[in-house]
């Protein structure tokens, strides 16, 4: 029996976050064989793993959102034309109508040229109809080339050869959900979708802020991601969310309530007990830890500005920004330059680290993201007995104050996103009271032990895998 994890833009190429969760999930089921079907941008990323794969990962396959067309058109002859059903399916997906996705699955698994399809008469005619009906206010040539760029990654994904497995566990909707839906069609396998953030909403936020796409094209891109998410919700056997509000968003976006399940994150709490504390040199500092990827979604610039203001009031503050700086080199460079421009000392960029080597040396941790799900970094901080400052995103409010029925208390300070003053004041508040830090740290420790241990997460997924496999499935291998 095999489970195929389908992941976009993360494991095993990126450290932390969803990648860390995937790695822990695989380790939680050591007797199960896992395959990885990884969606990456192009072949230049191929094989550049940031994780040492667990022994029960048997194979890693790759799918590309950008690629060359390997088919020899001259050898194959004339361009492929669509038959009546294929044309109707292609038209419906582009026009945003009910789509027979199974027809597209079958079409793109043929030995065809993606360039043939995108540059062919059928695609042109459908795009022309879409333009005449909805978008005639823009230049047609621009519209045509934009539609080709929008549909290229989807068609490449549909053209991907999928390894055979018994369950496909997609760690998002989007392109991963398309692959999972296609695998279910061809192999009759179980399909599980697990969303850490709500994929459609995250892509919508990114596109609305993007400078590379303007005007009506923003709406077209957003609708493209909605189409793929609706497909995944429709074909999935079970769809999981980390917390209640995320589950409600899934339902609002078209996921049937009967398919949804809540599966909070879990960590190995004992891994963060007894960590090394401060060195002699560090005893005079109040040390703040930020475990993150230096990328715009983590809003590191607001963190740096807030720290600069806080340090004026608490001179012995020190900020450790712990995580990779190469995922968005330009943004990281801007962060380095901001530290220099503000002339603020004691900001330390560590690069990639082993979190256990640093977390015990921190007085508290901070997260200033503009979007999150249920951050593992907060759970790890709690496991180390450290309170947290966090922006009010994803499940962070509930992690700090507790879910309904959790009366353990407050484990940190919640702020609004991009609010430099609030974040700075929170730093000053925690820095100024060791008893507060210790009390909040203990609340966090009790919360993570009671609700967010990996054993609890494993049990939930054990039951879900059994459910997805079906009553007649050979599920005893999960034990």
Tell me the mean pLDDT in the region 81-101: 96
CB 242 within 8 A of CB 263: yes
Q: Which of 232, 262, 292 is the C-terminal boundary of a domain?
A: 262
Q: Residues 132, 218: one domain?
A: no
d(CA 6, CA 157): 12
In this prediction, residue 93 has a pLDDT band, given cuts at 50, 70 and 90, of: very high
461 part of a folded domain:
no
d(CA 329, CA 164): 37
* pLDDT > 70? residue 473: no
14 part of a folded domain:
yes
Q: Residues 330, 393: one domain?
A: yes
Note the pLDDT tens digit of each residue in 16-38.
889 989 999 999 999 999 999 99
Q: Residues 298, 422: one domain?
A: yes
Total count of domains within the chain: 3
* Domain of residue 12, CATH code: 3.40.50.2000
Q: Residues 123, 37: one domain?
A: no
Q: Residues 183, 139: one domain?
A: no
Q: Residues 299, 444: one domain?
A: yes
477 part of a folded domain:
no
Q: Residues 318, 431: one domain?
A: yes
* pLDDT > 80? residue 89: yes
Tell me the mean pLDDT in the region 437-459: 96
Residue 397 sits at the vertex; the CA angle it makes with 396 and 399, to the nearest 5 degrees, is 60
156 part of a folded domain:
no
Q: Residues 199, 278: one domain?
A: no
* pLDDT > 90? residue 301: yes
- Provide the pLDDT for residue 211: 86
- Provide the pLDDT for residue 72: 55
Tell me the mean pLDDT in the region 154-166: 97
Q: Residues 291, 342: one domain?
A: yes
In this prediction, residue 69 has a pLDDT band, given cuts at 50, 70 and 90, of: confident
460 part of a folded domain:
no
Of 298, 358, 353, nearest in space to 328 by CA: 298
Tell me the mean pLDDT in the region 460-469: 94
Q: Which of 262, 291, 316 is the C-terminal boundary of a domain?
A: 262
Q: Residues 404, 429: one domain?
A: yes
407 part of a folded domain:
yes
d(CA 299, CA 293): 10
- Provide the pLDDT for residue 76: 55
pTM assigned to the model: 0.89
Q: Residues 374, 436: one domain?
A: yes
Q: Residues 90, 53: one domain?
A: no
User: 139 is in which domain, residue-wise?
Assistant: 73-150
- Provide the pLDDT for residue 471: 57
- Provide the pLDDT for residue 334: 97
84 part of a folded domain:
yes
CB 338 within 8 A of CB 301: yes
Note the pLDDT tens digit of each residue in 183-209.
999 999 999 999 998 999 889 988 988
Tell me the mean pLDDT in the region 170-185: 97
Note the pLDDT tens digit of each residue in 341-369.
999 999 999 999 999 999 999 999 999 99
CB 17 within 8 A of CB 293: yes
Separation of first and last alpha carbons in the chain: 13
Note the pLDDT tens digit of each residue in 387-405.
999 999 999 999 999 998 8
Q: Which of 244, 262, 280 is the C-terminal boundary of a domain?
A: 262
374 part of a folded domain:
yes
């Amino acid at each position: 029996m095999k489970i195929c994890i389908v992941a976009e833009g993360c494991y095993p190429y990126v450290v932390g976050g969803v990648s860390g969760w995937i790695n822990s999930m695989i380790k939680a089921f050591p007797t199960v064989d896992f395959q990885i079907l990884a969606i990456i941008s192009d072949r230049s990323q191929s094989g550049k793993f940031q994780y040492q794969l667990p022994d029960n990962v048997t194979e890693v396959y790759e799918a590309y959102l950008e690629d060359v067309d390997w088919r020899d058109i001259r050898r194959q002859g004339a361009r492929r034309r669509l038959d009546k059903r294929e044309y109707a399916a292609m038209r419906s997906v582009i026009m945003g109508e009910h789509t027979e996705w199974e027809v597209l699955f079958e079409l793109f698994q043929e030995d065809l040229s993606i360039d043939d399809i995108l540059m062919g008469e059928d695609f042109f005619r459908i795009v022309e109809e879409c333009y005449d009906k909805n978008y005639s206010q823009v230049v047609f040539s621009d519209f045509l080339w934009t539609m080709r760029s929008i549909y290229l990654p989807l068609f490449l994904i549909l053209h991907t050869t999928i390894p055979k497995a018994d369950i496909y566990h997609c760690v998002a909707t989007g392109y991963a959900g398309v692959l999972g839906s296609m695998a279910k069609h061809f192999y009759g396998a179980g399909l599980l979708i697990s969303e850490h953030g709500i994929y459609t909403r995250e892509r919508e936020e990114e596109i609305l802020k993007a400078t590379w796409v303007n005007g009506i094209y923003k709406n077209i891109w957003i609708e493209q991601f909605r189409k793929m998410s609706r497909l995944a919700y429709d074909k999935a056997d079970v769809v999981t969310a980390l917390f209640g509000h995320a589950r409600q968003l899934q339902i609002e976006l078209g996921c049937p309530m009967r398919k949804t399940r809540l599966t909070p994150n879990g960590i190995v709490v004992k891994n963060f007990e007894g960590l090394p504390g401060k060195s002699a040199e560090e005893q005079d500092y109040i040390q703040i830890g930020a475990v993150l990827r230096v990328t715009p979604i983590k809003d590191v610039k607001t963190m740096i500005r807030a720290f600069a203001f806080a340090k004026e009031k608490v001179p012995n503050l020190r900020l450790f920004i712990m995580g990779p700086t190469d995922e968005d080199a330009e943004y990281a460079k801007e962060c380095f330059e901001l530290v220099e421009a503000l002339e603020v000392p004691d900001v330390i960029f560590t690069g990639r680290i082993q979190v256990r080597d640093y977390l015990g040396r921190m007085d508290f941790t901070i997260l200033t993201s503009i979007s999150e799900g249920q951050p593992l970094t907060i759970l790890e901080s709690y496991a180390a007995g450290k309170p947290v400052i966090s922006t009010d995103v994803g499940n962070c409010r509930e992690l700090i104050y507790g879910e309904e029925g959790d009366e353990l208390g407050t484990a940190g300070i919640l702020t609004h996103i991009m609010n430099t003053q609030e974040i700075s004041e929170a730093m000053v508040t925690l820095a100024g009271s060791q008893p507060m830090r210790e009390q909040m740290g203990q609340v966090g420790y009790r919360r993570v032990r009671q609700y967010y241990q990996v054993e609890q997460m494993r049990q939930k997924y054990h039951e879900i895998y059994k459910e997805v496999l079906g009553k007649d499935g050979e599920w005893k291998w999960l034990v």
